[in-house]
Amino acid sequence: MIRKLVYISVFLMLLQNSMVFAGTTGSEDMSKSNAQNQSTASECFEGFSRVMFKFNYALDGAIFEPVAKGYRALPVPIRKGTGNALDNLRSLLTVSNNILQGDFRSAGTTAGRFVINTTVGVLGIFDPASALGLKEQGKEDFGQTLGAWGSTSGCYFVLPILGPTTVRDSIGLVGNWFLDPVYQITHNTEIDNGVIGNSTYSEHNYYYYRGAGAVDFRAKNIESFNSVEENSIDLYASVKSLYIQNRSKQINNSKSITVTQDDSDWEEIDTN
């Protein structure tokens, strides 16, 4: 399985590089192309992507939105604590990517937040680290790391269930599996002494964690999604534009955000 993932990553990287270099005539043209591709992306297979978008839209209306509305009915302290705990686990992936980007100060701050919130904050339900001056640094993933290393986005397409992505971010999705300690613990930890199996840390726990994160994000953004839907002539194009702009801001560590219900809105639109 690992070998197949490596092959896929290499293939996608080669595909991206071929698209970046195709049509360039010199270093100046390449530099302009790289700068432009941070905020724009061509389509890989628009027909397929639009079909997948319609599929995901129908799936959201049938399952994810109703579940998110049910979740929103829970008391605020429960939702807040759940969101904090999920963000606390997600910060482990951020630390890994902070290090790969050479941002050791942010890595130290994020690691310190994880230790304090996991212990004093009761598994991340509470956020005492912020009260101690360790402010959240923002989420990082391997797609952002590739962008920080100078990789352009490559073309845009839509995956079933996972949603919008680019060539770079799809490589980042594979990279996150290797870098995320939560994934590694739940998928690769084995206690096989004939008595205790891998019952505490098993694969389904990772998918519970990811599913809960998706519901939490969808619940925070119900109004935002509705607003985009109501004000878009072409919803597919609007979502694409939002995704590309958001990823560009994340890679450049931009402080500007979409003004919506919650200050963390759209921060996980990369699907990682």
In this model, does residue 42 exceed pLDDT 50? Answer: yes
At 182-234, the pLDDT tens digits run 998 888 765 444 444 445 667 888 889 999 999 999 999 999 999 999 999 99
Q: Is the pLDDT of residue 39 over 90?
A: no
Through-space distance between the first and last CA atoms of the chain, rounded to whole angstroms: 19
Instruction: Report residue 81 as tokens.
Output: 């604590």
Q: Give rounded-to-5 percent helix, strand, coil for the chain.
A: 65, 5, 30
Q: Is the dihedral of CA 56, 139, 263, 153 positive or negative?
A: negative
DSSP string spanning 79-109? HHHHHHHHHHHHHHHHHHHHHHTT-HHHHHH
**CA angle (97, 138, 203) in 5-degree steps:** 60
What pLDDT, on a 0 to 100 scale, did the predictor assign at position 25?
A: 37
Identify the pLDDT of residue 158: 96
Say how far apart CA 154 and CA 247 lie, in whole Å.
Answer: 13
With bands split at pLDDT 50, 70 and 90, how would you rate the model's confidence at 38?
Answer: low
163 SS3 class? strand
pTM score, two decimals? Answer: 0.77
**pLDDT at residue 36, rounded to an integer:** 47
Q: Which one has a higher pLDDT value, 131 or 26?
A: 131
Tokens read off for 2:
């690992």
pLDDT tens-digit readout, 67-119: 999 999 999 999 999 999 999 999 999 999 999 999 999 999 999 999 999 99
